[in-house]
Homo-oligomer: A and B are copies of this chain.
Amino acid sequence: MSETKIRNMEEFAAVSGISRPTVSKYFNDPDSVRASTRQRIEAALAQYDYRPNIFAINQNRKLTKNVGIVVPFMADPFFIEIARTIEQRCIAMGYRPSLFSAHGDPALEVDILDTLRSLKPAGVLLAPIGRSSDRSEIEKFCRDVPTVLFDSNLNGIGEAFIGSDNFSFVSQTVEYMTRTGEPPSFFEMKTPANPNANKRRDAYIKMMERLGLEPHVIKVKGEGWAFEEIGRQGGHKMFEDGQLKTNAILCSNDRLAIGLLSACYERGVKVGRTPDCALRVASNDGHPFSRFTCPSLTTASHDYESVSNQSVETLFELIESGGRFDTRRERFFPARLILRDSA
């Protein structure tokens, strides 16, 4: 490592003995120059640690190597799990991912898209907040920037959607619980923040009807993204009001279930599938913490890996197709039922 500081590509080209345009070509694609040239450049690179100015690069390139990743709520380990995988894969593809969280705030979501627009990203992976998202603003953004939606679908918006098949989630748990005990009631928020919640409720009702059973939906009140607390308070209220007619509950999502289990514990309601238990609780998502609830939570898990991988692959396909698909693509991955102690 020499002590002379390289200020720009011109100087680096000089010390490496290669012309600047060739060096520039190298940085855009190391394989586009002759092997011997590449070696000389890389030798110089080892000696003087030079890196092209990222701002100058992005200013001049028509398409940057930036990729935006937007999640609705970062305090949710569920999204982190996916974002982390996506991030790594983007880096492996030679792109620079930037992660943003809307923190459940639709206005912030729009701000993020605005910021993202000015980054001129090659593409964006967006998990919208959902119900309260500003549809028209997102639609406008998607017209400007190649965007793949994931997790929450907004009909017709974006070039593609990658997510989970909500019916597969609910049908597996309903079938399992019904087969091994009583059919479950469905436990959800009155005004869900996320469109998946509605799909899951509808799937529950359809599934119950298909089995010739009467669906029973328990709606708890609460707004925002503090799902655990909403589940806990809703759980207490459910017991107090005697709303529960069965000994089995299927929660709309794991975070709600974590709160419900907390309420059950506080009330001394024993949850599980052993004979001494008063209640069985199952849920959806495969939340990283679901293994550590008391009892451990039976849940229909997202196929995290497939969703992440497919999202990234679809995005890069989109980028290579010039940012547009002929028809909007949708891909839904089935759930994987994880049997644990709670049901």
Contacts and interface: CB of A to CB of B under 8 A. Distances in A.
B291 A289 contact: no
A162 interface: no
A226 to B, nearest CB: 10
B75 A288 contact: yes
24 contacts: A51-B118, A53-B118, A54-B118, A54-B119, A55-B58, A56-B59, A59-B59, A74-B74, A74-B80, A77-B77, A88-B103, A96-B115, A99-B99, A229-B292, A258-B292, A259-B292, A261-B294, A262-B292, A262-B294, A262-B296, A266-B295, A266-B296, A266-B341, A293-B294
A329 interface: no
Contact of A294 (B75, B118, B265): B265
Contacts of A120: 55
Contacts of A294: 261-262, 265, 293-294
Interface string A31-68: 00000000000000000000101111011000000000
Contacts of A266: 295-296, 341
B98 A84 contact: no
A294 to B, nearest CB: 4
Contacts of A289: 228, 258, 289
A53 to B, nearest CB: 7
A201 interface: no
Nearest to A100: B99
Contacts of A99: 99-101
A81 interface: yes
B229 A291 contact: yes
Contacts of A103: 84, 88
Interface string A327-343: 00000000000000100
A280 interface: no
A200 interface: no
Interface string A98-113: 1111010000000000
A302 interface: no
Interface in A250-300: 258-259, 261-262, 265-266, 288-289, 291-296
A232 B295 CA distance: 13
A136 to B, nearest CB: 13
